[in-house]
Amino acid sequence: MGMVDVGIGFMILIAGRPAYWVFTGGIAFLVGTYTARQLPLFSTQWNALILSLLFAVFGVVLAFLAHRWAARFAGFVAGGFLLYNMPLALGAQADWTSPLLFAVAGLVAFGLLLVTFDFALALISSLTGVTLILRSFHIGTLDQGAMFIILTVFGLITQYLILQYGRPSPD
């Protein structure tokens, strides 16, 4: 599911805050992927993809019903996801991680989303999108750290521009 992860990573990277239902659906897709890996019933790739898509649809519907609270819960999951996967995307080992640290990272992300929703969601979605992209797709001879910084800045600027210029002016 590498190319699917890259596609979802780009969607989250670009539209994580302006359309936070994309972020919530993308995180729900990741939860569905993880769940499918744990259950032997979903051992084939098609079954795992169908379960992941069902989770994603549920996440999008939840985002439309619970709005910012659904995005905050997705941010909790994204915080733990970043703790486990960001070192791997950068080429380091993540042997030091634990479920307790997952919960702490999730609570930090949730707290940031409570305090400053717009900026925190843009940052968390950019980091999550970049992590998904670099975890599944290695770009030639470029350094993973440099690509991480370039794509993160690209995601933050893109989300800012979409938020600023996507709204109709009152004139």
Model pLDDT for residues 22-55, shown as the tens digit of each residue:
889 999 999 998 888 888 776 788 888 888 899 9
pLDDT value at residue 169: 57
Per-residue pLDDT band for 9 (boundaries 50, 70, 90) equals confident
pLDDT value at residue 3: 83
Answer whether 71's CB lies under 8 Å from 122's CB: no
At residue 44, the 3 state secondary structure works out as coil
Q: Could you read off the pLDDT of 154-171 as tens digits, one per residue?
A: 999 998 888 887 665 555
Q: Could you read off the pLDDT of 78-102 as tens digits, one per residue?
A: 999 999 888 877 777 777 778 898 8
Q: What is the mean pLDDT of the chain?
A: 86
Who's near 27: CB < 8 A, 6+ residues apart? 59, 74, 77, 78, 81, 128
- Identify whether 171 is part of a domain: no
- Identify whether 170 is part of a domain: no
Q: E strands of the chain, at which residues?
A: none
- Identify whether 107 is part of a domain: yes
At residue 83, the 3 state secondary structure works out as helix
> Any idea which of 16-30, 56-70, 131-145 has the lowest mean pLDDT?
131-145
Distance in angstroms (rounded) separating the CA atoms of residues 98 and 43: 25
In the predicted structure, residue 127 carries a pLDDT above the cut 60: yes
% of the chain residues with pLDDT over 70: 94
Angle of helix 20-38 relative to helix 2-15, nearest 10 degrees, comes to: 150
Global pTM reads: 0.87
Select the more confidently predicted residue: 139 or 44: 44
Print the domain residue range for 96. 2-165
DSSP state of 103: H
In the predicted structure, residue 18 carries a pLDDT above the cut 80: no
Domains of the chain: total? 1
Q: Could you read off the pLDDT of 108-122 as tens digits, one per residue?
A: 999 999 999 888 999
- Identify whether 28 is part of a domain: yes
